[in-house]
A = this chain, B = another copy of it.
Amino acid sequence: MFLINYLLPISKENPNDAVIKSHQLMIKSGMIHKVGSGVYSWLPIGLRVLHKVIDIIRFEMNNIGCLEVSTPSMQPFELWKKSGRHSDNGDLSAETLVAVDRHGNKLIYSPTAEEVFTELFGDCIKSYKNLPIVLYQISTKFRDEIRPRFGLMRGREFLMKDAYSFDIDQKNSLKNYENILKAYLKIFKQCELSAIPVLAPTGSIGGDYSHEFHIVSDTGESTIYYDSSVINDIENQNISLENLNSYYICEEEKHKYNNKKPINIKGELIETKSIEVGHIFHLGTKYSKSMNVKVQGYNGELFYPSMGCYGIGVSRLICAIIECYNDERGIIWPKKLAPFKVIIININNNCEKCDQVSTKIYYELNNMGFEPLYDNTDDSIGKKFARADLIGIPVQIVISTKNIKEDKIELKFRQKIESIFLEQENIINYIKFVLN
């Protein structure tokens, strides 16, 4: 991409309403644009990151056999009466956004989709032979937060991956729950995050078992307590429900309930602020029963399938990554998530030779799939460097008249202070080496 043809509205000023780093940096680096209270547009550079995170999530969900579907954002209120989560008396949660259509029927903007998925399952699946099945979608949700804040960390309209599992019984259902818990840890690891699964209350979604996934961060709104030795098992992807339960990990309420006396600590007890990026629930037969969805068993008998539901806040996940990867100059994207992996900064934009070399390198990298951005603007050298750092491009190739004369090209790395200098003929191979 040539920067001159791109939409990258960076700014120096922090927006008035932005108090946390990710909110500030997403606005300043031109990733998002505010449309209204808690409602944002994704701009091109932000959308590129979003698509990469979506690809990671989709790959890992498909990899364990989950099937992707897409349900509507506006759902008939009738479905919510069926499940009993809401009734005609209007006891809708204050966070639920309701519209009334021209025929006077209420539609709910989906905050989650247990009802639609349970009904979909009931209409489509009739036999135990088709179980287990896990359906998921990656789609827009709306929650009418009373005080939207922190940008997309606590926005009203946001992207969510929600999944729903259906099994013949509780034992199989918990196995599915465990599989998805493991897949979640893989997803977060690929986003270069260490997520800690914390046993959690089930709240309005209900069910009998639940885990939240927390990312350690000073700017988080939650507080968690955990045994430091669990990190080792998470890093090694050696997590079953059983060994997870053997560690002391809990949120604030539970820790108080325990009189702040942790038991069986194998390493150190860590107290930290954290960001919740995912939440999974073992629902059991709560929804299949309330919506009367049954499946035929091996001997012809009808039974209620045992369910689970599983959410990842995709928009918020990106905020959490930025909270973990930034410095005073801007975002520091992990290679896999960077909107562009490499930027070519031509600091002598009027030098024909510089443009020739830059363009040649650009096309070579582009053809190799390295997603280069070419800064061919008339901006000052300082502005070009500051922008490349702000938007967090991992590898920065600096082209200047002076260096070209000496057959040198400067290579800067977002995470390091010192540059290296290479001969022109070696540049492509070196970048291949660095980025693969």
Interface contact B70-A47, CB-CB below 8 Å? yes
Please judge, given known A-B contacts A35-B76, A116-B35, whether A44 and B67 are in contact too, CB under 8 Å.
Answer: yes
Chain A facing B: main interface SS = mixed
A344-383 contact mask (Cβ, 8 Å, vs B): 1 or 0 = 0000000000000000000000000000000000000000
Q: Which residues of B contact A65 (CB under 8 A)?
A: 5
Q: Which of B5, B40, B119, B146 contacts A102 (CB 8 A)?
A: B146
Interface contact A69-B47, CB-CB below 8 Å? yes
Q: Smallest CB–CB gap between A313 and chain B, Å?
A: 16
Copies, count: 2
Q: Which residues of B contact A74 (CB under 8 A)?
A: 39, 97, 109, 142, 156-157
Q: Which residues of B contact A428 (CB under 8 A)?
A: none
Please judge, given known A-B contacts A124-B7, A124-B33, A146-B102, whether A70 and B97 are in contact too, CB under 8 Å.
Answer: no
Interface contact B94-A99, CB-CB below 8 Å? no
Q: Which residues of B contact A125 (CB under 8 A)?
A: 7, 9
Q: Which of B5, B30, B36, B101 contacts A97 (CB 8 A)?
A: B101
Q: Which residues of B contact A50 (CB under 8 A)?
A: 70
Q: Which residues of B contact A79 (CB under 8 A)?
A: 35
* Bound-complex Cα distance A146 to B33 (A): 34
Give the interface size class of chain A. 35 or more
**Residue of A7, A68, A142 ringed by the most chain B CB atoms within 10 A:** A7
Q: Which residues of B contact A427 (CB under 8 A)?
A: none
A63-81 contact mask (Cβ, 8 Å, vs B): 1 or 0 = 0010111111111101100
Q: Smallest CB–CB gap between A74 and chain B, Å?
A: 6
Interface contact A124-B35, CB-CB below 8 Å? no
* Bound-complex Cα distance A76 to B37 (A): 9
- A399 interface residue, CB < 8 Å from B? no
- A120 interface residue, CB < 8 Å from B? yes
Q: Which residues of B contact A209 (CB under 8 A)?
A: none
A32-58 contact mask (Cβ, 8 Å, vs B): 1 or 0 = 010111011111100100100000000
Which residues of A approach B to under 8 Å, CB–CB? 4-7, 9, 30, 33, 35-37, 39-44, 47, 50, 65, 67-76, 78-79, 94-95, 97-99, 101-103, 105, 107, 109, 116, 119-120, 123-125, 129-130, 133, 135, 140, 142, 144, 146, 156-157
Interface contact B99-A97, CB-CB below 8 Å? yes
Please, which residue of chain B has its CB at the minimum distance from the CB of A101? B144
Q: Which residues of B contact A123 (CB under 8 A)?
A: 9, 33
Please judge, given known A-B contacts A94-B102, A97-B107, whether A67 and B36 are in contact too, CB under 8 Å.
Answer: no
A-B contact pairs, 7 of them (CB 8 A): A7-B130, A35-B79, A39-B74, A39-B76, A74-B109, A74-B142, A97-B107
Q: Which residues of B contact A4 (CB under 8 A)?
A: 129-130
Q: Which residues of B contact A95 (CB under 8 A)?
A: 102
